[in-house]
Amino acid sequence: MSKGLSSHNPKNVSIVLCGQAGQGIQTVEYLLTRILKLTGFNVFATKEYMSRVRGGMNSTSIRISSDPVRAAANTIDILVPLNKGALQHVERNISSQTVILADKEIIGEDIDQTKHKFVDVPFTGTAVEIGNKIYSNVVAVGTMTGLFRIELSMASKYVEKFFSTKSSDIVQKNIAALKSGFDFGAGLVKSSKINFEIAADDTVENQVLLNGAEAVALGAIAGGCNFIASYPMSPSTGVLAFLAKHGKTFDIIAEQAEDEIAAINMGLGAWYAGARAMVTTSGGGFALMTEGVSLAGMLESPMVIHLAQRPGPATGLPTRTEQGDLELALYAGHGEFPRIIFAPGKIEDAFYLTQRAFNLADKYQVPVFILTDQYFIDSYYNTAAPDLSKLKIEKHITQTKKDYQRYELTKSGVSPRGVPGFGDGLVVVDSDEHDTAGHITEDLDLRIKMVDKRLKKGEMLRKDNVPPELTGPKNYKNLVVCWGSIYNIAQEAVQKLGREDVALLHFKQVYPLPDEAADYLQKAKQTIIVENNATSQFAKLIKFQMGIDIDKKILKYNGLSFFVEELTEKLKKALN
Amino acid sequence: MDTKVFDMNDIDIAWCPGCGNFPILKTLKRALAELQIKPRDIVLVSGIGQAAKIPHYFNTNVFNGLHGRALPAATAIKAANPALTVIAESGDGDMYGEGGNHFIHTIRRNPNITNIVHNNMVYGLTKGQASPTTQKGFVTPVQVSGVFLEPFNPLAIAIALDASFVARAFSGDIEWMADILKKAIKHNGYALVDIFQPCVSFNKLNTVQWFKENTYYLEDHDPSDRQKAFEKATETEKLPLGIFYKSPQKPSFEENVGIYEEKQNPLYKRDLDKKKLNNLLETFKMRL
């Protein structure tokens, strides 16, 4: 097995850790990704987990590379199964290249010497020697740091920082665990059993390591968000927790509502009184919010809705991923009113689009959606830090005069928005059809004027859009189309194809679709759409909005997102 | 202050002649005028139903939202700008039926708002079906054999949840109602005022006369005595009126959210400190 891996793909390594919930895989992932980033390696991590707090089988995949790496791969170069059955959980991705680092005592029976490349690492034995088997996680972290020739002193400092709130005895034992693991990893390198050639990248140091949830929440803060009400629901809760954690610093009220109905009605009340509010939820919770979405339409209230998708219908697969709620977001709410739907592809998209969502919601007085999914929310990588210098929080609140009318008919359809207590006017809003003052009416001629007023704003939304992004050759023949979280996966897959006639078109605004999108699609001889759902909802939207048929569809709906190699193969087939 | 500041000109009121909503409307105007609270500093929040139309007959700021959802909106309005006097007002169907979950959790949350519930023990706008407070045996076009569900007891529930202020008034007695409303509005924390009122069109049982004969005012009652308050709230022979319960002063929701300790200005007057955001972003560079 000497240098087995170095000849395989030394500049790009994929590690998978697998074990039970509650076993501390998250700690390994956390420490390892941070230490790798500190070293200057490009790093990507994602996880898949079962809907339970203890037991079951969860895995974390970490990719390490000399070059930027931003998408999930299914190749496993190093597998660390932490308990019995873990190996079988990821069996389908184990290849002849996979090196399994495991404690023989624990998972010995799972090893098949005829097909597995196995190195016995006594994680548990070492941990027990140090004092307790709970240190075995840090022994594993240490083994990796040794394997990737990371500076031990730097890794020790980070581990010390991580455990700084614990007693000095615990800190010392964790550092001892790290060192034992490190020695073992370094030993493997020395004996040339495993050898990687990953180089540090100078740009990494100044970059941020963010996951999707953090990027959405930070974008919200940058958009001036100061109110969030939500009900916990995987995978959307991270945004609520993040804003709650930083509430005091940024003057944000973060409230856990009794249900999603309360959450969105709180959000609308907050906007009415001058706050900048959002809700974060997933499909089932959002279903409860739909009447509130309709209320936003009628009140002409701004609203920002983060909808982190997971597979439905109903409870579906609570901890898995899917792009199955595009149509739900598109049609949610009775009656006719305009809206905007964003679907970030890159981590930085999530930051900038959420920031923009607050400005647009306020400007046009419409609900704005940020559509993510579990894969996006739980994946992270190093990327350029957001540039705040050019970002502006656009507040569109007017100081009212005595004769103020909330729904004054204007040319654009947007009426100046006052808030109670700011100025001499009164602010009246009503879920009933209303007159220009905001009071209930059944004047049917006025009804037409009010419907037209609300819909007129939709025209502006179509023009003030975020255009789709084309990567690859401009004179393409084949166009791969995707939206939302698929971007990085498709980007790497298309790059892997290495064909000069294939380009990628990614939509980060999926509604309304900009007119120029049609030009991109019509130029292609063949279009192939990639979606993480069963009915190709975005292709249907393209047909409905632009009358264009997509030629081929690559769909996946088993609860996981695509892997780069898998998508590459599927694209190859579709292109032949 | 003259109650006229709250009058709307030229309005077509959708209530039936003799409806209990009229004296409630009049008395609320009087209470707010006597407390010298200006229209621009008040927000009336309501849901759906005949009672929920009250803000349209009131010259002030209005948030007439969805059926049952007045309380979450009112909570957030108060939290976003604590200087506003926020009153959430609707009927028994809206507050106790459609909005029952919010009723429970708003009490727990304790925003400094007044929750006025027009309780006529029947559905008016949908024409005569049972409401959560309809008494047993009451026959309607839907409850054709008479209501057999246990009536919802808002006061007992509020006291059980240690609500900060719990009272019941009767629309036929303006003086008492004005006094209770003023105390509720002035109270710091969530204040429930359940108001008995007749529905002249759909409730031929609980009439003005019936309420007069079947209610009495609490006298020599100590509103800090929770056990006694609960006992009074569960009486059925004759229904007590007055202030049942006031919990020992506890912080309101706005006082608990943690952003009004150092500054009191409303959220719309606050701006993001970009330096702080830059500092936070800096931590994601994961340096040692």
**pLDDT tens string A459-496:** 999 999 999 999 999 999 999 999 999 999 999 999 99
Q: In chain B, positions 14-43, which contact chain A (CB-CB < 8 Å)?
A: 39-41, 43
- Does residue A32 surpass a pLDDT of 80? yes
Q: Nearest by CB to B66, which of A265, A424, A425?
A: A265
> Residue B288: inside a domain, yes or no?
no
Chain A interface includes B280 (CB < 8 A): yes
- Does residue B283 surpass a pLDDT of 90? yes
Share of chain A above pLDDT 90, in %: 88
| Measured distance CA(A143)–CA(A194) in Å, rounded | 12
What is the per-residue pLDDT across A62-81, written as a single tens digit (0 to 9) for each? 999 999 999 999 999 999 99
Look at A221 and B280 and tell me if their CB atoms are within 8 Å: yes
Task: Choose, out of B66, B110, B255, B279, the residue to mutate when testing the contact with A (most A CBs < 10 Å).
Answer: B66
pLDDT band for A247, please (50, 70, 90 cuts): very high
Q: In chain A, positions 388-427, which contact chain B (CB-CB < 8 Å)?
A: 388, 393, 395, 397, 419-427
Rounded mean pLDDT, B186-214: 97
**Burial class (CB within 10 angstroms; exposed 0-12, middle 13-18, buried 19+) of A105:** exposed
- Does residue A576 surpass a pLDDT of 90? no
| Measured distance CA(B176)–CA(B181) in Å, rounded | 9
Sheet holding A55-65, edge to edge: A117-120, A99-102, A78-81, A12-21, A55-65, A42-48, A380-383, A208-211
pLDDT at position A7, please? 41
Distant-in-sequence contacts of A461-466, Cβ < 8 A, 24+ apart: A461/A338, A461/A339, A461/A340, A461/A360, A461/A364, A461/A366, A461/A512, A462/A512, A462/A513, A462/A514, A462/A515, A464/A360, A464/A364, A465/A509, A465/A512, A465/A513, A465/A514, A466/A342, A466/A353, A466/A356, A466/A508, A466/A509, A466/A514
Look at A273 and B77 and tell me if their CB atoms are within 8 Å: yes
Look at B280 and A426 and tell me if their CB atoms are within 8 Å: no
Domain extent for B161: 3-283
Give the CATH number, domain containing residue B221: 3.40.50.970
pLDDT band for A122, please (50, 70, 90 cuts): very high
What is the per-residue pLDDT across B22-80, written as a single tens digit (0 to 9) for each? 999 999 999 999 999 999 999 999 999 999 999 999 999 999 999 999 999 999 999 99
pLDDT at position A1, please? 38
Look at B76 and A157 and tell me if their CB atoms are within 8 Å: no
- Does residue B214 surpass a pLDDT of 80? yes
Rounded mean pLDDT, A389-408: 97
Q: Nearest by CB to B80, which of A34, A273, A440?
A: A273
Question: Which residue of chain B comes nearest to A430, CA vs CA?
Answer: B64
> Residue B202: inside a domain, yes or no?
yes
| Measured distance CA(B230)–CA(A259) in Å, rounded | 28
β-pairing, A380-383 vs A42-48, is antiparallel
User: In the CATH hierarchy, which fold is given to the domain comprising A12-203?
Assistant: Pyruvate-ferredoxin Oxidoreductase; domain 3 (3.40.920)
> Residue B268: inside a domain, yes or no?
yes
A134 or A562: which leads in pLDDT: A562
Chain B interface includes A438 (CB < 8 A): yes
What is the per-residue pLDDT across A340-397, written as a single tens digit (0 to 9) for each? 999 999 999 999 999 999 999 999 999 999 999 999 999 999 999 999 999 999 999 9
> Residue B192: inside a domain, yes or no?
yes
Q: Nearest by CB to A253, which of B39, B71, B259?
A: B259
Amino acid identity of residue A445, one-letter, is D
User: In the CATH hierarchy, which fold is given to the domain comprising A209-383?
Assistant: Rossmann fold (3.40.50)
Look at B267 and A210 and tell me if their CB atoms are within 8 Å: no
- Does residue A329 surpass a pLDDT of 80? yes
Tokens of B280: 């936070």
pLDDT at position A196, please? 85
What is the per-residue pLDDT across A438-460, written as a single tens digit (0 to 9) for each? 999 999 999 999 999 999 999 99
**Burial class (CB within 10 angstroms; exposed 0-12, middle 13-18, buried 19+) of A555:** middle
Structural domains counted in chain B: 1
> Residue B120: inside a domain, yes or no?
yes
What's the mean per-residue pLDDT of chain B?
A: 97
* φ, ψ at B213 (rounded to 5°): -80, -25
**Burial class (CB within 10 angstroms; exposed 0-12, middle 13-18, buried 19+) of A216:** buried
The conformation of residue B132, written as its DSSP 8-state character, comes to T
Q: In chain B, positions 61-120, which contact chain A (CB-CB < 8 Å)?
A: 61-66, 69, 71-81, 83-84, 101-102, 104-105, 109
- Give contacts of B280 with chain A, Cβ < 8 Å: 218, 221, 246, 249
What's the mean per-residue pLDDT of chain A?
A: 95
Q: How far is B282 from chain A (nearest CA, A)?
A: 8
Within 13 Å of residue A99, how many CA atoms lie on the same side as its CB? 24
Look at B281 and A388 and tell me if their CB atoms are within 8 Å: yes
Look at A420 and B84 and tell me if their CB atoms are within 8 Å: yes
Look at A269 and B56 and tell me if their CB atoms are within 8 Å: no
- Does residue A10 surpass a pLDDT of 80? no
Query: What phi-psi label fits residue B234: left (phi over 0), alpha (psi between -120 and 50 degrees) or beta?
Result: alpha
pLDDT at position A412, please? 95
Same CATH fold assignment for domains A12-203 and A209-383: no
Rounded mean pLDDT, B104-128: 96
Q: Nearest by CB to A266, which of B75, B276, B280?
A: B75
What is the per-residue pLDDT across A511-561, written as a single tens digit (0 to 9) for each? 999 889 999 999 999 999 999 999 999 999 999 999 999 999 999 999 999
A21 or A289: which leads in pLDDT: A289
Chain B interface includes A263 (CB < 8 A): yes
Q: What is the interface pTM, i.e. ipTM, of the complex?
A: 0.98
| Measured distance CA(A415)–CA(A427) in Å, rounded | 12
- Does residue B244 surpass a pLDDT of 90? yes
Within 13 Å of residue A379, how many CA atoms lie on the same side as its CB? 32
- Give contacts of B61 with chain A, Cβ < 8 Å: 420-421, 426-428
User: In the CATH hierarchy, which fold is given to the domain comprising A469-575?
Assistant: Rossmann fold (3.40.50)
Q: How far is A244 from chain B (nearest CA, A)?
A: 10
Rounded mean pLDDT, A96-110: 90
Are the C-beta atoms of residues A439 and A430 closer than 8 Å to each other?
yes
pLDDT at position A366, please? 98
Look at A273 and B257 and tell me if their CB atoms are within 8 Å: no
pLDDT at position A8, please? 53
How many whole angstroms from its chain centre is CA A506? 16
The conformation of residue A70, written as its DSSP 8-state character, comes to -
Torsion of CA A506, A507, A508, A511, to 10 degrees: 180
β-pairing, B239-246 vs B215-217, is parallel
Q: How far is A438 from chain B (nearest CA, A)?
A: 8
pLDDT band for A6, please (50, 70, 90 cuts): very low
- Give contacts of B161 with chain A, Cβ < 8 Å: none
Opening angle at CA A454, ends A453 and A455, nearest 5:
95
Residue-range domain boundaries for chain A:
12-203, 209-383, 397-463, 469-575
Q: Nearest by CB to B65, which of A249, A425, A431?
A: A431
pLDDT at position A9, please? 56
Neighbours of B9 (CB within 10 A): 5
| Measured distance CA(A504)–CA(A520) in Å, rounded | 10
- Does residue B16 surpass a pLDDT of 60? yes
